[in-house]
């Protein structure tokens, strides 16, 4: 299969590119400033915040391979902090990368898949796309947007043989933690006294999380499925349980549990 992945320089993207290439697939991946290159993987310099880059990346794969069998929307970033102290620029940046980056790419991927008679689209959401996480509200909002977009898209394209799958990872040990932009003003910490403790808890969970290779193995199996599920929560047992509890408990009760977990 011909696979295009956005954001393959680290974390999930790098692990998936390595695994899927080893599986024998033809793998293309976008990057902004890669310094290390996986053997056998085709690198395309592109920024998902630039429409012309997204179009050029898709065009390059189609020109060389004639088709895109699997598109994996993985590129993303995180901005943390009390929502009151997150700037409007931060909010726009969060949505521009995580949600609009996906929309820009799919704007050019979808017509190609429709013309070729099918394909698989895997879009990375998060457990944070299923529940609003305190002090990660902008990130959760961007992932909620992915959930809603993909739910609608799935219905619209099912008649063309295009399958839409949403991936919802929990905490993983990647560079995402170090690269997160967090509000650091003294006022934010003074007003939201639990912010610092919650941030430490978040970072501890992430750095002690599952390894990206585990997720890559799951993705390897998902793209081979003839009829993949609509959603895959890839996380620890505790985090998968939290998703179940969110679905069955009254909202006020689940909010108390989540607040307690984040020391609020």
Tens digits of residue pLDDT in 92-116: 999 999 999 999 999 999 999 999 9
Contacts of 235 (CB under 8 A, 6+ apart): 127, 168, 169, 170, 171, 210, 243
Is the residue at 132 inside a domain? yes
Token pair recorded at residue 123: 């879009």
Task: Give pTM, 2 decimals.
Answer: 0.92
d(CA 257, CA 211): 26
Residue 177 has pLDDT above 80, yes or no: no
Q: How would you classify residue 11: left for phi > 0, otherwise alpha for psi between -120 and 50, otherwise beta? A: left
pLDDT at residue 36, as a whole number: 85
Is the residue at 249 inside a domain? no
Is the residue at 69 inside a domain? yes
Is the residue at 259 inside a domain? no
The CATH number of residue 47's host domain is 3.40.50.720
Residue 20 has pLDDT above 90, yes or no: yes
Q: Domain range spanning residue 182?
A: 2-236
Q: Based on the structure, what is the number of domains in the chain?
A: 1
Is the residue at 247 inside a domain? no
Is the residue at 143 inside a domain? yes
Token pair recorded at residue 90: 């931060």
- State the pLDDT confidence band at 188, using cuts at 50, 70 and 90: confident
Q: What pLDDT, in 10s, does the model give residues 53-83?
A: 999 999 999 999 999 999 999 999 999 899 9
Is the residue at 156 inside a domain? yes
d(CA 66, CA 64): 6
Q: What amino acid positions are annotated as catalytic residues?
A: 139
Q: What mean pLDDT comes out for the span 197-214?
A: 79
Is the residue at 213 inside a domain? yes
d(CA 261, CA 264): 8
């Amino acid at each position: 299969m011909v696979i295009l992945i956005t954001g393959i320089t680290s974390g999930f993207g790098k692990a998936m590119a390595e695994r899927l290439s080893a599986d024998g697939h033809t793998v293309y991946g976008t990057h902004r400033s890669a310094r290390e290159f996986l053997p056998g993987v085709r690198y395309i310099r592109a920024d998902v915040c630039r429409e012309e880059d997204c179009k050029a990346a898709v065009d390059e794969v189609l020109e060389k391979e004639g088709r895109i069998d699997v598109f994996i929307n993985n590129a993303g970033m995180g901005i943390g902090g009390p929502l009151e102290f997150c700037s409007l620029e931060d909010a726009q940046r969060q949505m521009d990368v995580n949600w609009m980056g996906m929309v820009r790419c799919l704007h050019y991927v979808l017509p190609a898949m429709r013309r070729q008679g099918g394909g698989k689209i895997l879009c990375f959401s998060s457990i944070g796309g299923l529940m609003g996480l305190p002090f990660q509200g902008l990130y959760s909002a961007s992932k909620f947007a992915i959930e809603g977009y993909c739910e609608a898209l799935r219905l619209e394209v099912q008649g063309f043989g295009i399958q839409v799958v949403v991936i919802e990872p929990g905490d993983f040990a990647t560079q995402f933690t170090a690269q997160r932009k967090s509000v650091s003003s003294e006022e934010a910490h003074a007003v939201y006294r639990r912010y610092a403790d919650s941030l430490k808890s978040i970072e501890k969970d992430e750095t002690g999380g599952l390894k990206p290779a585990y997720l890559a193995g799951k993705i390897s199996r998902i793209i081979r499925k003839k009829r993949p599920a609509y959603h895959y929560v890839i996380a620890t047992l505790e985090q998968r349980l939290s998703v179940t509890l969110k679905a069955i408990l009254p909202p006020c009760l689940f909010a108390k549990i989540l607040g307690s977990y984040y020391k609020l």
